[in-house]
Amino acid sequence: MTFGARLHAAMADRGPFCVGIDPHAALLRDWGLDDDVAGLERFALTVVEAVAPHCSVVKPQSAFYERFGSRGVAVLERVVAESRAAGALVLLDVKRGDIGSTSQAYADAYLDPASPLAVDAITASPYLGFGSLAPMVDTARAHGAGVFVLALTSNKEGPEVQEARTQDGTTVGALMIEHLRRLNEGAEPLGSFGAVVGATIGDTGLDFAFNGPVLAPGYGAQGGTAEDIRRIFGPAAGRVLASSSREVLRLGPDRAAMREAVRAANDELRS
């Protein structure tokens, strides 16, 4: 089964809310934990236990585990394995982007089931040229995985690249969407190659009906609402995976409160 098909089924079954499992140092302290590997492990696995059985997708941010070296990456491997065992898809937020053999090595690390860090999908940066992602795209196709490509992010630095225009006047962000449209052509019920578009990006005038999913970070604590998603994405809103971390994680270590936050977000987004 392709990633797009698995994601389509998971969103229909569990809802369109994605929980970011991001162990910021400040959050560890707020939970009464030390900013060390033991605190990381306690935090991350508590979140997995609370939310992974109830949401369609979890999205660990790799950097917050990598900062602890090999022991932190070992915790990330457990987060991936236990989240998948609980029925959630795992989207690893790594934003990798490189060329040639290095791009292939990233693809092998995250998208090949033989790897201990294999996940359902990753985030990727196309700003060495969309074609630089070809090894990731090909490996994802070979193993039924997915890739979410940065297109229109909501950070203040993004527009200097994403709103720049090509020789024919197309913005770079719009060009990323067109590349994804071609990659997903003919896929049923949903393509496996998605776009990352901020939930607080505002009106863009773009057509997001490119037959693939959209990851929309910024929902919840960062200000994005269900109404924003309906307005920005229009008819494509049903394919949007709205993502938040702080909205849920700030409620920990209370597992019941985190579960309830997932339920409430899914109810709001489905409405």
Q: d(Cα 52, Cα 113) in Å, to the nearest integer?
A: 20
Within the chain, where are the H helices?
Answer: 3-14, 25-30, 37-51, 63-66, 70-85, 100-111, 134-143, 159-162, 172-183, 226-233, 246-249, 255-270
Tokens 């033989």 — which residue? Answer: 114
Contact 110, 146 (CB under 8 A): no
The DSSP symbol for 205 reads -
For the purposes of burial, counting CB atoms within 10 Å of the CB of 235, is it exposed (0-12), middle (13-18) or buried (19 or more)? Answer: exposed
* Catalytic-role residue among 95, 141, 255, 263: 95
Exposed, middle or buried by CB within 10 Å (0-12, 13-18, 19+), for 268? middle
Q: Tell me the residue type at 45.
A: L
Residue 59: left if φ>0, alpha if ψ -120 to 50, beta else—which one? beta
What is the DSSP code (8-state) at residue 115?
S
**95 counts as catalytic:** yes
Q: Which residues are marked as active site?
A: 95
